[in-house]
Amino acid sequence: MSVFFTYAGTRSCAGGATVVYSSRPRMSNSRLRRLLVSLSFVGAVACEAGSPAPPPAGAPAHSVTQVPAESLTASASSPLEAPAVLPVSVAAPSPSEPPPELTGGGKRAVRGDAGLVTSVEPHATRAGLEVLRKGGNAVDAAVAVAFALAVTHPSAGNLGGGGFMVIRRASGESHTIDFRETAPAAATTGGILAMVKKGAYGYPATAVPGTVAGLELAHQRFGSRPWSELVAPATALAREGHRLGARQALVLGWAWSRLQQDRAARAIWGRQGKPVQKGDLVKQPDLSRTLEAIASEGARAFYEGPIAKKIAVAMAAHRGLVTEEDLRSYRAKLRAPLRFTYRGFTVDTMGPPSMGGIAFAQIMRVLERAKAHEAPAGSGLSHHLFAEAARRAYSDRRRASADPDFSPGAQPLLATLLDDGYLEARRPLLDRERATPSVDIAVPPEPEPLESQQTTHFSVVDAQGNAVACTVTLSAGFGAKVVVPGTGVIFSNALAAFSPTGTNTVAPGKRMQSSMSPAIVSRSGHLALVLGSPGGDTIPNTLAQVFRNLVDHGMTVDEAVESPRVHHQWLPDRLRIERNNPPSRSALEDLRRRGHALHLDAMPIGHANSILVDASGTAWGHADSREGGIAEGHAPAQAAPKR
């Protein structure tokens, strides 16, 4: 029987199971076993006893199997439309040796015995921590952090953009929430190409936002505290004002030439024709009123009614495409995580429409096969093996990633790309001594849209062992550089992330590709790591290097995050080096000798706000110094005994 993880040709049986039909070639039993122990989409099947629905006409009988139900949707008008799902998983392989022990926090790490939050902005971190102190769980805290970031870190935190969230419950269940933006009904490839040519900003660049719906879905399914309580910190920050941080002031300065052309944006962040500076008080009364409505009425207040009307009116007046019907039709989705294993650790990350998760997974599986953990940390060989694994993964990732609602064939391909048989046969094979020219890996495609690095990630762990990894974005810094009058809401320019050809072309209601790939790692059934980063195309590489530093090289969490990073994304064929935090001189010389073209770049690679949970159950967090930020832990009056 041929088995593929795919949503192609689905039918539902009475109990909620999804039956899938595929006409792909058969997979041998031995190859299938290898695949099942290395990859799973953790989701749910709940079907009443009896036979599944018959195959559609023309479907081959040999290619029928059951897979997880695809998604649970939420919107303003109907928060929980699909039947509830129960998580199932495929057993991970037994490693040949025990998983490596994780070292711990380190001198610069923050300890959290009863919970921990780390993000790029202090007000947001503290908003989440206060929720934990009041007895909220990790999802409650994540909702509070995300709303606060929309106020205090407006270059990426948002109500008008989107993102991905990975949730691991204390029971071991894992889920992902997809609240990536979608294309308005009127969007076309020609219109997008024209918009990109003009700079990819303004109302024509805006997409249908998903953040508010995604946060509501997370809260309804997994939260415990009142919704209004979680929105309240952000509302207060917007109404009473907050002092602008150094990083936020810097990014504001970068975007000011465009932002100042928008009257509403200029009123918020302008002072006598110049952008506000570090330490200046920023009040956002329109945004506070929007947040008050969301706190009172939920996501419905954003996607329907007066706020939606204001959005639609502004769009129509400035050639934007988002309509009231587009807003009303938006759905956040509970999807099955992409799961892979590495040296006995289990990683849950994002599947499509993320192309980051598949790149992260393939990098680690290639490195495991190459025994890269035996190379000394920071050595030229270690960086070389990583770059060669990344080069191959980045050439594959766009092939396997697209909105699964529109590209059912992407799921079988994704499974194939992580199969041992494919990795064994991948040509040219990884050379431990020499860099492989990128043109030898695959035929260069048509130019793909570049991803902005102005995204943001935060991580949360609570006292019970629940964890959240969440990455949100406006695509470019400050998105489309427009604020809808009367709402305080900045919209993303995510339409620019669609491609002119291939699986990532635009269609009404379709999600665009993204590299965002929040991840949660477990060891022997226990929570171990919460990982993620902003950085556009650099995100999968950032995660992989932090993960390697922790697992392969035994670093503390602060050392793992602060260590030098490199970046190779297949094309252009060069190895990007952080100018201000490079590898050792000997490592760089070794990389040149192996044939790598080194490119020094002043821009840092990623911003990995990470959490490590040690064997005793203590959480250690570190906020990456590359963009600033803060990690704060919650300690109970009397520390609970360790497990």
| Each residue's pLDDT tens digit, 527-542 | 999 999 999 999 999 9
Whether residue 483 contacts residue 475, with contact meaning beta carbons closer than 8 Å, is answered with no
Compute the distance between CA of residue 351 and CA of residue 353 in angstroms, rounded to an integer: 6
Who's near 33: CB < 8 A, 6+ residues apart? none
The tokens describing 278, both together, are: 């570090």
Alpha helices (H) along 466-569 = 539-551, 557-562
Whether residue 636 contacts residue 618, with contact meaning beta carbons closer than 8 Å, is answered with no
What pLDDT score does 87 carry? 29
What pLDDT score does 257 carry? 97
Query: Among 325-329, 405-409, 568-572, which is the least confidently predicted range?
Result: 405-409
What pLDDT score does 447 carry? 67
- The answer to the question of whether 514 is labelled as a binding residue is yes
Q: Using alpha carbons only, what angle is made at residue 291 by residues 287 and 293, rounded to the nearest 5 degrees?
A: 120
The tokens describing 292, both together, are: 């008050």
User: Could you report the per-residue pLDDT of 195-223, keeping only the tens digit for each?
Assistant: 999 999 999 999 999 999 999 999 999 99
Which of the 8 DSSP states describes residue 319? T
Q: Return the closest-CA partner of residue 42 out of 209, 181, 171, 201.
A: 171
What pLDDT score does 28 carry? 40
pLDDT at 255 over 50: yes
Whether residue 360 contacts residue 348, with contact meaning beta carbons closer than 8 Å, is answered with no
Whether residue 83 contacts residue 46, with contact meaning beta carbons closer than 8 Å, is answered with yes
- The answer to the question of whether 515 is labelled as a binding residue is yes
Catalytic residue annotation: 455
- The answer to the question of whether 536 is labelled as a binding residue is yes
What pLDDT score does 402 carry? 86
Q: Return the closest-CA partner of residue 201 out of 148, 152, 254, 157.
A: 254
- Please give the model's pTM, rounded to 2 decimal places: 0.86
Q: Where are the beta strands (DSSP E) in 184-248?
A: 242-243
What pLDDT score does 578 carry? 98
Compute the distance between CA of residue 481 and CA of residue 258 in angstroms, rounded to an integer: 6
Compute the distance between CA of residue 571 and CA of residue 398 in angstroms, rounded to an integer: 12
Q: Where are the beta strands (DSSP E) in 90-160?
A: 110-112, 115-119
Q: Where are the beta strands (DSSP E) in 357-480?
A: 455-462, 467-473
The tokens describing 321, both together, are: 């495409």
The mean pLDDT value for 301-308 works out to 98
The mean pLDDT value for 569-576 works out to 96
pLDDT at 27 over 80: no
Domains of the chain by residue range: 1-70
Question: Which amino acid belongs to residue 403?
Answer: D
CA dihedral 540, 541, 546, 551 (to 10 degrees): 90
Compute the distance between CA of residue 48 and CA of residue 50 in angstroms, rounded to an integer: 6
Who's near 57: CB < 8 A, 6+ residues apart? none
Compute the distance between CA of residue 301 and CA of residue 299 in angstroms, rounded to an integer: 5
User: Could you report the per-residue pLDDT of 67-97, keeping only the tens digit for each?
Assistant: 233 334 444 433 333 323 222 233 344 456 7
3-state SS, residue 271? strand
pLDDT at 15 over 80: no
Token pair 């990583």 in the structure block, residue: 386
Beta bridge partners of 116: 461, 633
Token pair 């022997």 in the structure block, residue: 524
Whether residue 130 contacts residue 214, with contact meaning beta carbons closer than 8 Å, is answered with no
Phi, psi at 15, each rounded to 5°: -90, 0
For the beta sheet containing 630-633, the strands, ordered from the edge strand earlier in sequence to the opposite edge, are 72-74, 332-335, 174-178, 162-168, 467-473, 455-462, 115-119, 630-633
Whether residue 382 contacts residue 565, with contact meaning beta carbons closer than 8 Å, is answered with no
Compute the distance between CA of residue 246 and CA of residue 279 in angstroms, rounded to an integer: 8
What pLDDT score does 399 carry? 81
pLDDT at 311 over 80: yes
Token pair 């320019």 in the structure block, residue: 493
What pLDDT score does 261 carry? 97
What pLDDT score does 58 carry? 32
User: Could you report the per-residue pLDDT of 96-134, keeping only the tens digit for each?
Assistant: 678 999 998 999 999 999 999 999 999 999 999 999 999
Beta bridge partners of 11: 19
Compute the distance between CA of residue 617 and CA of residue 425 in angstroms, rounded to an integer: 41
Categorize the per-residue pLDDT at 444 as very low, low, confident or very high, splitting at 50, 70 and 90.
confident
Which of the 8 DSSP states describes residue 349? E
